[in-house]
Amino acid sequence: MLNPTHYQVIDQIAIITIDNPPVNAMSFDVRQSLSKAIDQFNSDVSVKAGILICKGRTFIAGADISEFDHLPFKDPWLPEIVQKIEDANKPIVAAIHGSALGGGLEVAMGCHFRCAIESAKFGLPEVTLGLLPGATGTQRLPRLAGAKKALDMMLSGKPINAKDAFNCGILDMIIETDLQEGAIAFVKEILDIQTPIKRLSQININSNGVSTELFNDYRNQIAKKSRGFFAPKQIIKCVEAAVELSYEDALKIENSLFLECLNSDHSKAQRHLFFAEREISNIPNKSKDTKIREINTFAIVGAGTMGCGIAMNFLNANIPVTLMEVSQEGLDRGIDIIRNNYQAQVSKGRLSQEQMEHYLKLLNGSTDYADISNADLVIEAVFENMTIKKEVFQKLDGACKPGAILATNTSTLDINVIANCTSRPEDVIGLHFFAPANIMPLLEIVRGDKTSDDVIATSLKMAKTIRKVGVLVGVCFGFVGNRMFLPYVREAEHMMLEGVSAKHIDQVACDWGMAMGPHAVTDLSGQDVFFKLNDEWEDQPDDPNYFRICKVLFEMGRYGQKSGRGIFKYEGRTAIEDPEMADIARREADELGIKQREISDNEIIERMLYAMINEGALILEQGIALRAGDIDVIFCNGYGMPRYRGGPMFYADLIGLKQVYETINSYRERYGDRYWTPAPLLEQLVAENKTFAEWSKENI
C-alpha cells in the first residue's frame, strides 16, 4: 500500500501526517511508517520541533483490533512507538481533531504536548473490548489527569470533550482556528519561551488524595456496575501500580495484565461482539444501489406502555411523532406515561426540565387515522392479537399515503399474514422493539416474504437514527429472540417441577452472568403474557409438562410483579421467595409423574443454555437469522446476556460444539427426543469439526 505517514517541513517544523482512512487506525503499516518518520525527524537537523497530525475525519481512533487475534504482534508494536515518540530529541506536539481513542490517545500521550480543536473527543475505551489500555495508557493517563480521573475514564470507557480534557491536564491548548495553523503557532510559542519537554514516564503521579481506600472504593463500585467482567479489576491494579511503583516496574504489570486480558475468554467474547455488531448491516444480495425512502414524519398507533416507549425513541432523537389511540382517554393516558417517564429522568438528574419540555413539544396526539395519512413511517403497537392487528393494518392501508412504510411491533405473530391483509405487502415490515422500548437497545427488523429491499434498507438506517441495534431476521413464531428464549425458560420451569427452587435457578443464571434470572424475567413480563404467547402458538408441543407452572399461575391470577405475586411474591419491585411455590411445583410434579431430585448447578446452566443453542442452530439452518453473530448481538442487547459471554452461539463455539452435541444427546436419553434432538446443523458441524462462526462465513 502507499505510505500512510507523510513527512514535510514548514518553518523548521516537521509535519508528520498519518493518512490511513477511514479512522487512521494504528495498523502494522501505520506503525512501521510512523516509526520511520520519527527516525527521519530525529536525524533532520533542519527542524526544531514536530507536529503529529492526521488527515480525514479524525485523529487516530485506536489500534487495529483485527490484529489482536493474531499473536505475536508484528513489530514495531504500539507501546514501542509511543516510547519512541517520547524519546524523540526534539519536542513533538499532537494536533488532534475528531477522536483520540484507545491507542490514539496513548500515541498522543507519548507526545510531549497536546493541542486539539474544541470538538475533539478523548478516551480509552479498551474496557469495552475486555482489555486495558496496553500501550502505556494506564501509566500515562494518571500522570496527566490524576489517578481518579484516569480510573473514571478507563473503567467507563466513555470519551470526554476537549474542555474537560484541558481542565484535567490531558490537553495543553484548545485551538480555535485551523488545526494545523494553530498547532504551528503553539509550537512556535513553545520554542520561543523554551518550554521544557514533558516526558510522562519521568513524571511522578500526584498522590494527593490517593489511598488504598480509593482503590477499594473503585473495586466495590465495579462489583456492582461491571459484575463478572475481568478487565476492570486489572485496570485498577495497573493504576495502583502506577501510584506505588516506578514507571518501569508498573509498566511490566501493565504488559502482563494486558496479555492476560487479551487471552481471556471475556475479551474474545467482547471483541467478537464488536465485529458482530458492525456486521449486522451487511445484508447479502442487497444491491448497493438500493434507495433509501425519505422518512420525515412518524406515527405510532397504540398509546400503551410499548407504544409510548417507542415514541420516546424518536422524540429523544429530536424527531416529531404523532401518537394515535382509538379514544381520547387512552391517548391522554399515553401522553401521561411519556410525561411521567421524562419527569422521572428529570428527577434523577439525567435530563433537564428544558429538554423534557422540548421533547414533549415534538409529540402530537390524535384519535383519527386521517391525522397520520401523510406519515412516512407508521409503527403499530397495539395488543398482541392477530385479529386486532389485522384490523389496524386494514385501516392503515386505507388511510396512509402510497409509499408509506407500515410496521408492526409484534413479538411473535406472522408478519406475512398481517402484510397480506393490505394491498401493499411490500411496504410492510416488523419492527420488534424490546421492553422497555425507550431503554433497551435491540430492534429486531423482521422481513416478510414480500417486504421490499428499500423498506429493509430504510428500516436499518432508521434504527441507527434512533440509536438502536437493528438486526434483520426472518418470519417464524417468536422470530429469533423469543423463539430461542422460550426453550431457556421452558427448562427453567421444568427444573422447578423436578424440585429446584426458582430462587436457586435464578441465582445460578445470574452467577453465570445473566442480568436477571429466567423466573424474574417471566414475572416482570407477566405470567399472563407468557401464557397467552404460548396459548396462541399453533405449533406448541402437545405436552402437558410444557409451561405447566405458567398455566397454573395464570389460572390462579398470579401474574407476577403487576399482581404482587407470580413465581415470586413482591414488596414493590423486590422479589421474595414464596414458600407456596415449592408446594405448587410438588403438586404439579406428582400429577404429571415427574420425580423430584437433586440437580447440580452445572446441569441447570447446561439445560437452559444448550436448549437455547440447539434452537439457534435450527434458526440458522432455516435462514431465520443470517449469521451466528446476529443471534449473539440479539441476546447481548435484548435479553441481558453478558457481553463477556459473547452470546449463545459464540459461547457454544468457545466451549466446543462437540461438548454441546454430546450433552444434548445425554439429555435426550433421559428426557426423550421431543426437546433434546440435536439440530441437524449442529450434528453436521460436529462431524466436520467446524464452528457456527465458520459456517456463517461460508454461507453468508
**Residues with active-site annotation:** 106, 126
CA diameter of the chain: 92
* CA proximity to 415, closest of 378, 391, 457, 386: 386
Q: Is 42 exposed, middle or buried (0-12, 13-18, 19+ CB in 10 A)?
A: middle
Q: How far apart are CA 429 and CA 413, in angstroms?
A: 12
Q: How far apart are CA 495 and CA 488, in angstroms?
A: 11
The CA distances from residue 679 to 473, 676, 685, in Å, are 19, 9, 10
Angle between helices 481-497 and 527-535 (to 10 degrees): 110
Beta-carbon neighbour count of residue 594 at 10 Å? 17
User: Alpha helices of 536-600 — where are they, by DSSP H?
Assistant: 548-556, 579-592
Q: How far apart are CA 74 and CA 29, in angstroms?
A: 10
The CA distances from residue 290 to 336, 466, 621, in Å, are 40, 21, 27
Are β-strands 121-123 and 99-101 bridged in parallel, bridged antiparallel, or unpaired? Answer: parallel
- Cell numbers that stand for 453 in this block: 429491499
Beta-carbon neighbour count of residue 571 at 10 Å? 8
At residue 576, the 3 state secondary structure works out as: strand
Q: How far apart are CA 629 and CA 646, in angstroms?
A: 9
The CA distances from residue 388 to 171, 373, 391, 422, 500, in Å, are 59, 20, 5, 14, 39
Q: How far apart are CA 52 and CA 67, in angstroms?
A: 23
Q: How far apart are CA 553 and CA 542, in angstroms?
A: 19
Are β-strands 574-576 and 569-571 bridged in parallel, bridged antiparallel, or unpaired? Answer: antiparallel
* CA proximity to 337, closest of 316, 319, 360: 360
Q: For residue 487, say if its preceding peptide bond is cis, omega within 30 degrees of 0.
A: no
